[in-house]
Structure 1
Amino acid sequence: MQVWLVRVVAVVFLGYGAGFVFVPEPLLKAVVGEVPVAASAWIDMRATYGGLSLGVGALLWVLSVNHQTLRSGVLGVVLLMAGMASGRAVGMVVDGTPNGYMVIYLILEVLTAMLGLWAWRSLPRDVGRD
């Protein structure tokens, strides 16, 4: 179960990253309702939303294929999802009323972090330890 959790999250990051590198405009309009104006804003958005997400997805996938690194992959899922949920929650408090996507993302991030924590605690002690 832990392998599949890490791989599903990896695939989501890979898909999200590819979308924001190659077709960012429709994704941004759907998710946040606006698009950047300046070229540097587009470049940074492609790098941050796209490139970073691709890197995270690839790293999680690599961690999921080896018995010795699976524990790190599951912990990575927990920390990534908890970090995203925390940042999103702060944004909702500080910046105002979120759109529906932000609420859905927050719910999914919290649930995935909780599932990841359960999965991490359920790993046999020998997984990922010398």
Structure 2
Amino acid sequence: MNLSKFVVYLAAIVFILYGLAFTINPNGMSMLVTGTELTNTSDLVDFRATYGGMTIAIGVIILYLHAINQIRPSLIAVTVVLLSMAGARTIGFIVDGAPNYLMYAYLVLELGGGLLALLALSKTQNID
């Protein structure tokens, strides 16, 4: 498997599994990630929709682009999503202060994945 396929499949699988975890168990995932309990129905519904549904959609879109031979756009999508998450997370660190250890781990994974996607992108040709 080449680097482009590896990056696309890994990112898509992680997004889909992470989204499914939030869809199936939003309160448990909230406790794991932020240490806070979701206390009302709207919390649960919004976590399922945003962290669950939207995250699953990102993974599916990445897989779809790859499936229709849009390798570069799929790598661009991975890059933009991961580096945008890392950028917004960094702003949170600066504005909001020191978070839990998982936020630092996520930042490392987002930066690493985004840079790996950029590397794969640099190795792909401009034709799809």
Matched letter for residue 12 of structure 2: A
Alignment of 1:34-113 (within 5 A): 34-67=36-69, 69-113=70-114
Q: How far has the Cα of 1:28 moved from its partner?
A: 1.3
CA RMSD of superposed structures (Å): 1.0
- Structure 2 Cα separation of the partners of residues 88 and 120 of structure 1: 23
TM-score normalised by structure 1 residue count: 0.92
1:54-111 superposed Cα distances (whole Å, 9 cap, x missing partner): 11111111112232x1110000000000100011111111111111100000011011
Residue in 2 aligned with 1:15?
A: 17
Divergent runs of 4+, >4 A: none
Residue in 2 aligned with 1:29?
A: 31
Bigger drift between 35-44 and 96-105 goes to 35-44
Q: How far has the Cα of 1:37 moved from its partner?
A: 1.3
Matched letter for residue 100 of structure 1: Y
Unaligned stretches of 5+ residues in structure 1 = none
Q: Secondary structure at the match of 1:104?
A: helix
Matched letter for residue 124 of structure 1: Q
Q: Secondary structure at the match of 1:51?
A: helix
1:25-78 superposed Cα distances (whole Å, 9 cap, x missing partner): 2221111101221211211111000000011111111112232x1110000000
Matched letter for residue 118 of structure 1: L
- Structure 2 Cα separation of the partners of residues 64 and 111 of structure 1: 21
Unaligned stretches of 5+ residues in structure 2 = none
